[in-house]
Structure 1
């Protein structure tokens, strides 16, 4: 077992290097930066959890310790980007991450002059923050499952967040139980083996043996006109989609179904009198939205901006306009407005008072 454990750790780190090379060769690493960060954290954990490498006693190993401690935050971030296309990091998350890493350093770095009775408290607080990030990722995965319009991504969320998230929680619980004691050799071997299997599965996905997972993990490139000409839709399907799009526009634009804060894929499909999968395909493939919320919020934004530009309503609170259009609260409305138009709602209203304003979506918006 003494020979198997270092071999498995080395194999895991080698697979991380392989994944980095695959991403570098394929390009698009900027879209995959969150995945690269998580892989770095996994490699750091594999290295620092080795009994042969005393990361807590060697100042030169500080980068590895930082990466290993940051894994829960990086995992939460990856889940947000993969599952919700949300690259926004609130200040509370940054604060929690700073507390988690700082307390973790105080707990594990032997060369820091920390009173012995402080180390268990710091370690417990760090673990508590880590559980919060992993639990939050699971909550987001559950909350956004129905609005996700990409079939492969809806299936993938239970692998990425469900399996990996629950496993990470189990590892943290074991670490809390053991405190700073070394795990039994069999448990350490099982842990490393499972991590290696997870890395191997990711390597398979990125090597295009599962192309649908590529679509789910990363935003697909826009279909070029040449590609559309080379693989055109059947005329009957195009005609049927056109009819459905017209009916959908009537429901949303004329009947204002978007004003319902509880509007869902299921309820809208029922109103359109089509199966859910047809509505999902229509909004994704024909209207270009990866998530149901962005499709609905577009209609809501159109109403709010039109009413904010109306001089007769310039004294009506923005919060009231947002709630009347179907937004559940002011926070999501402000964030979605700023991401879409590159300004706050208040700034837009101030510009409207000076004259007509032409709104354009910020780069990267669909």
Structure 2
């Protein structure tokens, strides 16, 4: 009885904190995609705090089915949140909403009809395996994008927030599957609620300690001559020498063309520590992401090639590969983000203007 009371108290406190956090996130960063997804993630987490139960053996009450569906769909929101947090050019597509709706709908159908037909244990395993899949996608996104982030404080806080949430989500799913139908549910539920409350509290504290503009940056305003403007930014004499050396690598050696170029290899070329190069590109040149920095140089070369009448018959894929892109898809997305048109449209516009 004492454990049950403690469990209910922990859930209530966690739900209250998450609802306040969602309201603050939406109010402060509702105009930014990552901020809106963070608020949605907090709401979905509140639904999870209400219904999460380890080792449950009873069938789901129909009134809880929508809440469970919202909680299950939160795994998709978590994945999208990590993408928006780490990819500054990420945009929601219609199919993202379709994926969320499909997961939530499957959870709802599972609660209402599959559980009575197949049993509670099968339902728990199916739902939690689905959630684990999206958590794995989010962790992969974190690992893949972390090194390209040039804002040191944001890199540390982002990895902490995502790792803590993924660790809890992954452990919760594994426990749900392992202890389904077990008699050890009461202790496990209380420990689960306590862990979840601690994770939410620590994440809330961490978010309050970081500059909101770092964690949820506004969409960057694209400047046509941003590469040239960045090179002219005032800097100290030592930094200016490094900027000049960096720009020579870009302009003369076209190092951005090299396969798998990383900020570490570039720092080695310049003979400086990696953290210093991160700070230089971020604070002196104004870039928040290393890939964006590389892509602006790559796109500048591609624009020149596409506008060149002598290369009118050269395939777009060839121009993309020559500029350092590994495939056509990323090139097209980066090109349209920077110029507002596709490479083919850009070539046609230049040919018409000529």
Matches within 5 A, 1:281-300: 281-300=279-298
- In structure 1, list runs of 5 or more residues that go unmatched: 223-235, 357-366
Partner of 1:140: 141
Partner of 1:47: 50
Question: Structure 2 length as normaliser, TM-score?
Answer: 0.84
Partner SS, residue 236 of structure 2: helix
Partner of 2:79: 76
Change (3 A) 1:189 1:122: closer
Matches within 5 A, 1:229-240: 238-240=236-238
Partner of 1:250: 248
Q: Provide Cα deviations, 1:219-244, integer angstroms capped at 9, x if missing partner.
A: 1799xxxxxxxxxxxxx962222222
Alpha-carbon separation, structure 1, partners of 2:305 and 2:174: 52
Residue 24 of structure 1, CA deviation: 5.8
Q: Provide Cα deviations, 1:127-171, integer angstroms capped at 9, x if missing partner.
A: 343222111111121122222211123223432222321221121
Matches within 5 A, 1:278-357: 278-355=276-353
Q: Which has the higher contact order (CA 8 A, sep 6+)?
A: 2
Does 1:211 find its partner at 2:210?
yes
2:149/2:290 contact within 8 Å kept: yes
Change (3 A) 1:314 1:179: farther
- The number of equivalent residue pairs is 335
Matches within 5 A, 1:258-273: 258-273=256-271
Residue 4 of structure 1, CA deviation: 0.9
Partner of 1:187: 188
Residue 120 of structure 1, CA deviation: 6.8
Q: Provide Cα deviations, 1:275-299, integer angstroms capped at 9, x if missing partner.
A: 2111101111111111111100110
Alpha-carbon separation, structure 2, partners of 1:182 and 1:85: 46
Residue 11 of structure 1, CA deviation: 0.4
- In structure 2, list runs of 5 or more residues that go unmatched: 221-233
Partner SS, residue 3 of structure 1: helix
1:100/1:130 contact within 8 Å kept: no
Question: Structure 1 length as normaliser, TM-score?
Answer: 0.81
Residue 56 of structure 1, CA deviation: 4.1
Change (3 A) 1:163 1:290: same
Find the partner of 2:20 among 11, 18, 25.
18
1:96/1:129 contact within 8 Å kept: no
Partner of 1:117: 118
Task: Single out whichever of 336-345 and 125-134 deviates more from structure 2.
Answer: 125-134
Partner of 2:153: 152
Does 1:6 find its partner at 2:8?
yes
Partner of 1:230: none
Partner of 2:230: none
Task: Single out whichever of 150-159 and 43-52 deviates more from structure 2.
Answer: 43-52
Q: Provide Cα deviations, 1:70-110, integer angstroms capped at 9, x if missing partner.
A: 1111111111122232423467755544442222222123x
2:59/2:115 contact within 8 Å kept: no
Task: Single out whichever of 99-108 and 283-292 deviates more from structure 2.
Answer: 99-108
Alpha-carbon separation, structure 2, partners of 1:329 and 1:238: 38
Q: Provide Cα deviations, 1:304-332, integer angstroms capped at 9, x if missing partner.
A: 11101111111111111111111111111
Task: Single out whichever of 345-354 and 114-123 deviates more from structure 2.
Answer: 114-123
Alpha-carbon separation, structure 1, partners of 2:305 and 2:196: 53
Partner of 1:102: 105
Alpha-carbon separation, structure 1, partners of 2:203 and 2:87: 20
Task: Single out whichever of 159-168 and 322-331 deviates more from structure 2.
Answer: 159-168
Change (3 A) 1:194 1:99: same
